[in-house]
Homo-oligomer: A and B are copies of this chain.
């Protein structure tokens, strides 16, 4: 069969020889983009805020390869596995581009037998999704992950993750936000008491996950139609998933005649109660909403799950603020490391991922709108002269400045001379990139053994 396939493919390549001759298209691959210096400046500001927060919380940093053995990713992402990029089989191992940073982290822990670590990891991940780039969705995008692995008092690391989301979204000044919280055990308990058969838990959970994009009616008809759930069970779920609130709702559900009889749900509710107490101690409970409609797509979550959404400023006639999309999410995954450990040893983990691309989009639009000037270099001095023949003198000065650690640029082409003349005249000076100082090398200055330094903004000279 292998030979036959090779033969056929070769034939196809030959047949297709002519039709493949097409004009070369100058572009980046679908769903990807370059970052210009201006975009990089914004990106680095955001990373700086995030990394500062992660370090404040005592995290170490690791890095892993951009691709993993295909097997490492197999069976971790449920329905989304079809979005994984595979590398071509060029002999040797079968490889795939990483889909997130969580599975490589779990693989790293198992491989190095690490049972206790607080780490962050900022890197690109890859999903063959249908990109909606204007809304900040790409096939190649950054994730900023912070995770805590190890045995701790219940809900302490979980509360810390929520605190981190709160700190980062506050520091980035993105406007009002809300962090929705739920627990996979509560969801599973809810499905059980609503009469969903065990075998349908995962697929019904996927349907619930769509509630942030679809109205309940559509989700219900997917459950009853495509997924053959009984209408009664669906309606029962429909009652639960519209609930959201705080500690009061948790207390109420702990008294719920059905849920309180379910072991998993009870455990989940008990833990959430503890979590909310800690969030109150951290002073961030008001931004957190226990929301029974939150499901999260990924397979590996086992406990608390959460997702942060930005809220649009209230419009005239809207009663409730509308979410403009998730900018962070995460949860507890106590089973994932055990999937990699040869002896199945578990390492409890909880983590958060900051979805940076949407944040970039918002900040880019804001910079655009405000017409704020973003500097893309840190150059402090521009060395220029009005005479071309002074090149040697300029090079000496330039070298001296570099060696002294001064950030410096030199204009050494014809434009540079014109510029220096402009700088010497009293007119406005078009210094590139907002360089604040110009050092001018001229015949007279050389004779006097000095350099003229001009402040671009004030036009003062010394």
Contacts A5-B9, A56-B402, A85-B90: A25 and B69 contacting too (C-beta < 8 A)? yes
Closest to A139 in B: B65
A239 to B: closest C-beta gap in Å: 35
Check A29 for interface membership: any CB of B closer than 8 A. Answer: yes
B32 and A67 form a contact (CB under 8 A): yes
A111 and B55 form a contact (CB under 8 A): no
A412 to B: closest C-beta gap in Å: 5
Closest to A65 in B: B32
- A93: chain B residues within 8 A (beta carbon): 29-30
- A410: chain B residues within 8 A (beta carbon): 156
- A95: chain B residues within 8 A (beta carbon): 29
- A44: chain B residues within 8 A (beta carbon): 61
Contacts A30-B93, A71-B24: A395 and B278 contacting too (C-beta < 8 A)? yes
Check A452 for interface membership: any CB of B closer than 8 A. Answer: no
Complex CA distance for A67 and B30, rounded to whole angstroms: 10
Complex CA distance for A376 and B15, rounded to whole angstroms: 57
Interface centre among A85, A163, A281 (most CB of B within 10 A): A281
A29 and B69 form a contact (CB under 8 A): yes
A27 and B69 form a contact (CB under 8 A): yes
Complex CA distance for A90 and B60, rounded to whole angstroms: 37
Complex CA distance for A122 and B63, rounded to whole angstroms: 15
A396 and B281 form a contact (CB under 8 A): yes
Number of copies: 2
Check A312 for interface membership: any CB of B closer than 8 A. Answer: no
B92 and A412 form a contact (CB under 8 A): no
- A156: chain B residues within 8 A (beta carbon): 395, 410, 412
Closest to A85 in B: B87
Complex CA distance for A404 and B36, rounded to whole angstroms: 34
Which residue of B4, B65, B152 contacts A33 across the interface (Cβ within 8 Å)? B65
Closest to A376 in B: B60
Complex CA distance for A67 and B67, rounded to whole angstroms: 12
A-B contact sample (20 more), CB < 8 A, given A29-B68, A66-B66: A5-B5, A5-B9, A26-B107, A28-B64, A28-B69, A29-B65, A30-B93, A35-B63, A37-B60, A37-B119, A40-B61, A40-B62, A40-B63, A44-B61, A56-B408, A88-B88, A90-B128, A156-B395, A156-B412, A278-B395
The list of the 6 closest CB pairs from A to B, nearest first, reads: A37-B60, A58-B409, A32-B65, A35-B63, A86-B88, A58-B379
Seen from chain A, the residues whose Cβ lies within 8 Å of a Cβ on chain B are 1-2, 4-5, 8-9, 11-12, 15, 24-30, 32-37, 40, 43-44, 55-69, 71, 85-90, 92-93, 95, 97, 107-108, 110-112, 118-119, 124, 126, 128, 140, 150-153, 156, 159, 163, 167, 278, 281-283, 340, 342, 376-379, 391-392, 395-396, 399, 402-403, 405-410, 412-413, 433
